């Protein structure tokens, strides 16, 4: 199992959650993502998923504190879903008032890497790393809620080359792209969610977001903590990025402009009624996580 990198193990776990039927079907799907020769077999998939379920990690780690960390994560997840359920008791339309945000790298070779899933390993869970393993890629940001998708926004320089998402660039995106998109939208009682990346949780970023979402930010260092290791609760990870990827790569884009065009087309075609169903799915996941006291949800099949 050691031959699989951290990013590859993330893909294995996410694909298993996405398929939700059988390990054999997961293996077949992974052969479409990896080359046939390098794709993991059923037993490898089982070992990777089992390790994640039991420890909250995808990497081999002899640290004796890992089990304690997994318990802490479950507690934070349970506290969050408890809060969501309490809000929903007060306002039955609460799930319609949460705006999710996220970035992902889309590569020309068909590889998609989301930022927030990096918290599954033992490295700094709040850092966005820029590894040049797959340099031909674009970095995409979107905003997702029950009413639709805003975006995509591409993090790139003047030469239209993808750049690292740092605090300054993230805040520039907020002021130059997100704020104009929100003009005319009733933001009363709306919540803004983001993961724990450093550029998201810097004090300057939180202060900026508070201008439009006062005391309504779901994020580390803010009003309500977003729990770590919670890709199974994030619409981007259990739906959007996989949905977009399957359609973007169906036409086999061969250049960065073609890749960007396909991403724009697919995201632009996502209808609000589908987003509403995804948020209904989110609430089902919240309730399932609550029943399991913060446990992860790999063995439950959710239909969107």
Residue 61 counted as domain residue? no
pLDDT tens-digit profile of 226-259? 999 898 999 999 999 999 999 999 989 999 999 9
Evaluate whether residue 113 is within a structural domain.
yes
Overall domain count for the chain: 2
Q: According to the model, what pLDDT value does residue 135 have?
A: 56
On whether the pTM is more than 0.75, the answer is no
Looking at residue 109, the DSSP 8-state letter turns out to be T
Residues 159 and 226 in one domain: yes
Range of the domain at 255: 67-291
Looking at the fold, whether 261 and 137 belong to one and the same domain comes out as yes
- C-beta separation of 199 from 130 below 8 A: no
Q: Does the pLDDT at position 7 exceed 80?
A: no
Rg (CA), the chain: 19
Residue 126 pLDDT: 37
| Per-residue pLDDT tens digits for 31-89 | 888 866 678 888 888 888 877 766 667 776 555 444 445 788 899 999 999 999 999 99
Per-residue model confidence (pLDDT) at position 134:
41
> Which residue's structure tokens are 């740092």?
166
In this structure, the answer to whether residues 155 and 110 fall within a common structural domain is yes
- Cβ atoms of 160 and 290 within 8 Å: the answer is no
Cα angle value 22/26/32 (rounded, 5°): 155
Identify which has the larger pLDDT, 108 or 277.
277
In this structure, the answer to whether residues 160 and 269 fall within a common structural domain is yes
* Residues 235/278, Cβ–Cβ less than 8 Å: yes
Instruction: Pick 218 or 4 by higher pLDDT.
Output: 218
Query: From residue 210, how far is each of 52, 100, 203, 222, 266 by CA, in Å?
Result: 35, 15, 10, 9, 31
pLDDT, one tens digit per residue, over 111-167 is 555 554 433 333 343 333 344 444 589 999 999 999 999 999 999 999 989 999 999
Residue 69: per-residue pLDDT? 54
Instruction: Say whether both 49 and 76 belong to one domain.
Output: no
Average pLDDT, stretch 11-15? 85
Render pLDDT for 15-27 as a digit per residue (tens, 0 to 9). 887 776 678 888 8
Q: CA-CA distance, 126 to 111, in Å (whole number)?
A: 22
Examine the pLDDT at 177 and tell me if it is beyond 80.
yes
Judgement on whether residues 71 and 51 belong to the same structural domain of the protein:
no
- The verdict on residue 304 lying in a domain is no
| Distance separating alpha carbons of residues 157 and 274, to the nearest angstrom | 33
Rounded Cα distance, 222 and 236, in Å: 21
Listed in sequence order, the DSSP H helices in 2-97 are: 6-19, 23-33, 42-55, 66-90
Tell me, rounded to whole angstroms, the distance of Cα 14 from its chain centroid: 10
Does residue 263 belong to any structural domain of this protein? yes
pLDDT single digits (tens) 34-49: 866 678 888 888 888 8
Residue 208 included in any domain = yes
Burial 125-164 (b: 16+ CB within 10 A, else e): bbebeeeeeeeebbbbbbbbbbeebbbbbbbeeeeeebee
Whole-number pLDDT of residue 34: 80
């Amino acid at each position: 199992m050691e031959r699989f990198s951290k990013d590859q193990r993330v893909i294995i776990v996410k694909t298993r959650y996405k398929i939700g039927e059988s390990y054999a079907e997961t293996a077949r799907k992974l052969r479409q993502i990896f080359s046939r020769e390098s794709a993991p077999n059923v037993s490898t998939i089982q070992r990777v998923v089992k390790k994640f379920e039991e420890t909250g990690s995808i990497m081999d780690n002899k640290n004796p504190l890992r089990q304690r960390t997994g318990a802490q994560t479950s507690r934070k997840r349970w506290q969050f879903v408890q809060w969501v359920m309490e809000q929903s008791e007060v306002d039955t339309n609460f799930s319609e008032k949460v705006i999710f945000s996220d970035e992902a790298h889309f590569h020309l070779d068909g590889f998609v890497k989301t930022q927030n899933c990096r918290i599954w390993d033992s490295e700094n869970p709040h850092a966005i790393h820029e590894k040049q393993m797959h340099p031909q890629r674009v970095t995409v940001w979107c905003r997702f809620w029950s009413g639709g998708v805003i975006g995509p926004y591409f993090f790139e320089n003047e030469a239209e080359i993808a750049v690292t998402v740092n605090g300054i660039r993230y805040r520039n995106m907020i002021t130059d792209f997100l704020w104009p998109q929100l003009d005319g939208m009733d933001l009363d009682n709306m919540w803004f969610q983001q993961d724990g990346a450093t550029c998201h949780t810097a004090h300057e970023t939180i202060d900026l977001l508070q201008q439009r979402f006062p005391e309504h930010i779901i994020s580390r260092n803010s009003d309500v903590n977003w729990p770590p290791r919670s890709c199974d609760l994030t619409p981007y990870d259990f739906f959007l990025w996989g949905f977009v990827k399957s359609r973007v790569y169906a036409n086999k884009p061969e250049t960065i402009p073609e890749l960007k065009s396909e991403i724009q087309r697919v995201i632009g075609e996502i209808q609000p009624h589908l987003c509403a169903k995804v948020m209904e799915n989110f609430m089902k996941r919240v309730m399932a996580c609550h029943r399991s006291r913060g446990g992860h949800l790999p063995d439950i099949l959710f239909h969107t």
